[in-house]
Chain A
Amino acid sequence: MKLEFLNVSKIHNRKRQTYDLNEVCTSFVEQKSVAILSVYERSSKSLLKLISGIEQPTRGSIIREGIFTSLIGDSSYFHREMSGEENIRFICKLYGQETNKVIHEIKEFAEIKKELKQKAKSYTPVLRRKIAISTSLLMKSDIYQLNGGLHHPQPKFNNKIQSKLMELTTQSTIVVTAGNPDILKKYASCSVVIDHEGRLQSFNDVQSGIEALKVLKKDS
């Protein structure tokens, strides 16, 4: 896996010359999960979109080698008229996954079978989220993106999510954004802080990042 940001800038507002990210140089390392903290939420969101390749930087370049899926639990790509399985097949094909293997694992992980054959428009929000979370967690990715604590109303499934996430922290890299410091500390081992001008600063632990953000917020 290789993900390097070389002088990456992302302009938020061209007229006011405000930046989400400003001249960022950083690299993400395998099996080292990172907490992303920022003065403005839009900066973290922008960084996540750049990591997954959804957006391109305004200036600078990003060197990427590997698979970088989007946010865990995102189901916005689900098409109402397609079945759950067809939606999973689509996203798996898009990210170069072993489709049949992922579908088989989802059936076991989420304990669902015939629901996957039904059209997505018939899903309850709970089922939809269950399928989306399972798909994100079971697809192979070099970096997993976590926004806030993943919570599901079914306690048994919730426990499965937590243990799978902990498993991923040892096998892969997780970038996590959350308002709750406990979530950041649970999944990440280091942190980056983005200030109000979009500049990024790295820290070797999460606590130092949290404190640096507090100071930045106080100053601004």
Chain B
Amino acid sequence: MGAFLKAISVKTRIINALFIHSILTEHGKSKIGYLAALAKPLFQIVMLTTMFTFLGRSPAIGDNLVLFLATGIIPYNLCIGLTNKMLQINKSSRNILNNTLATPFDISIAFLLSETVIILISAATILIGLGHFGYWDYRVDSLLGILLITITSIILGYGVGLLNVSVSAIVPSYEKVWKILSMPLFLMSGVFFVADQRFPAEVIAILKYNPLLHIIESMRDSFYRSWESTLFDMGYLLTFTTIALLTGLLMQKLTQKRQRV
């Protein structure tokens, strides 16, 4: 038991050091690095709101377009933002991996923590800002639901991120392939629409396989008191997330030697 606790304390120490390193190197390169990372989702929301206002579009749920877009963009960034950021692990951490006792797993956990902290601070700032300016009354349908779906988005993002890191350690050009593959996800995940109001049943039958759609539907379901999702399937989302996480961990174990080279 003593040895186990000692091992845990060593791991915690290593991950803590890597967490600070990751915060300093990923966003601290320029003076506005942290600000840019925090403002990115806000910028996305402002851009989409401006565009939709010009097009005369109204929100699919509620009467506030900014809040509707925020409840789509925040969970999307938690999942895909984390996954995309994790693709940089191989490049940015090679020297640490090759010359210190840190393992690829330690680095991935440190990346997960640093990115999640930044995205969550950004999300909290946006939501408090929306409340402050009267776009939101600070009330939600289910706080527990929001918490659960936030954790699920992070785990899914981490699992897919691990998978991507492992594949790109074998095929370096995979990073570019993933960027192209993930592009339509923004359009297909219901960030700026509610799927069953917009598409026929045949299209929804295909879109339902996209776990991100379930995440965003669930987030809005827990957020809006006046709306209930007809598409969200917790069983499917949890199964997909568990498989992604386990496959990611397994792939990382199998490719960790390659990640060091």
Contact check, B101 vs A54: say whether CB atoms are below 8 A apart. yes
Contacts A81-B28, A96-B13; A90 near B99 (Cβ below 8 A): no
Task: Say whether B246 faces chain A, with CB atoms less than 8 Å apart.
Answer: no
Among the listed stretches A72-80, A108-116, A158-166, which one makes contact with chain B, having 4 or more residues with CB under 8 Å of it?
Answer: A72-80
> 6 smallest A-B Cβ distances: which pairs?
A93-B17, A53-B101, A94-B17, A76-B95, A76-B99, A81-B29
- The residue on A at minimum CB distance from B92 is A79
Contacts A77-B96, A81-B28; A93 near B101 (Cβ below 8 A): no
- The answer for the CA separation of A96 and B14 in the assembled complex, in Å, is 8
| Chain B interface size range | 20 to 34
Task: Say whether B10 faces chain A, with CB atoms less than 8 Å apart.
Answer: yes
Task: Say whether B50 faces chain A, with CB atoms less than 8 Å apart.
Answer: no
Contact check, B98 vs A76: say whether CB atoms are below 8 A apart. yes
Query: Nearest chain B CB to A12's CB is how many angstroms away?
Result: 13
Contacts A90-B17, A93-B16, A94-B17; A79 near B101 (Cβ below 8 A): no
Contact check, A81 vs B25: say whether CB atoms are below 8 A apart. yes
- The answer for the CA separation of A90 and B107 in the assembled complex, in Å, is 13
Contacts of B95 in A (CB 8 A): 76-78
Contact check, A54 vs B100: say whether CB atoms are below 8 A apart. yes
Contact check, B29 vs A77: say whether CB atoms are below 8 A apart. no
Task: Say whether B24 faces chain A, with CB atoms less than 8 Å apart.
Answer: yes
Contacts of A76 in B (CB 8 A): 95, 98-99
Query: Nearest chain B CB to A127's CB is how many angstroms away?
Result: 18
Contact check, A79 vs B25: say whether CB atoms are below 8 A apart. yes
Query: Nearest chain A CB to B255's CB is how many angstroms away?
Result: 14
Contact check, B101 vs A52: say whether CB atoms are below 8 A apart. yes
Contacts A76-B95, A79-B21; A94 near B102 (Cβ below 8 A): yes
What would 20 more interface pairs be, CB under 8 Å, given A78-B95, A90-B17?
A54-B98, A54-B99, A54-B101, A68-B101, A70-B101, A71-B99, A76-B95, A77-B95, A77-B96, A77-B100, A79-B24, A81-B25, A82-B24, A82-B28, A90-B20, A90-B21, A93-B16, A93-B17, A94-B14, A95-B101
- The answer for the CA separation of A131 and B100 in the assembled complex, in Å, is 17
- The answer for the CA separation of A96 and B16 in the assembled complex, in Å, is 11
Kindly identify, within residues 59 to 110 of chain A, every residue whose CB is under 8 Å from any CB belonging to chain B: 68, 70-71, 74, 76-79, 81-82, 86, 89-91, 93-96
Over the window 1-19 of chain B, the binary record of Cβ atoms lying under 8 Å from chain A Cβ atoms (1 yes, 0 no) is: 0000000001001101110
Query: Nearest chain B CB to A141's CB is how many angstroms away?
Result: 12
Contacts of B10 in A (CB 8 A): 96
Contact of B100 among A79, A86, A91, A96 (CB under 8 A): A91
Residue from the set B18, B28, B98 with the largest chain A CB neighbour count within 10 Å: B98
Contact check, B24 vs A93: say whether CB atoms are below 8 A apart. no
- The answer for the CA separation of A34 and B21 in the assembled complex, in Å, is 34
19 residue pairs A–B, Cβ–Cβ below 8 Å: A54-B99, A54-B101, A55-B260, A68-B101, A70-B99, A70-B100, A70-B101, A76-B95, A76-B99, A77-B96, A77-B100, A79-B21, A82-B21, A86-B24, A89-B20, A90-B21, A93-B20, A94-B100, A96-B13
Contacts of B21 in A (CB 8 A): 79, 82, 90
Kindly identify, within residues 89 to 108 of chain B, every residue whose CB is under 8 Å from any CB belonging to chain A: 95-96, 98-102
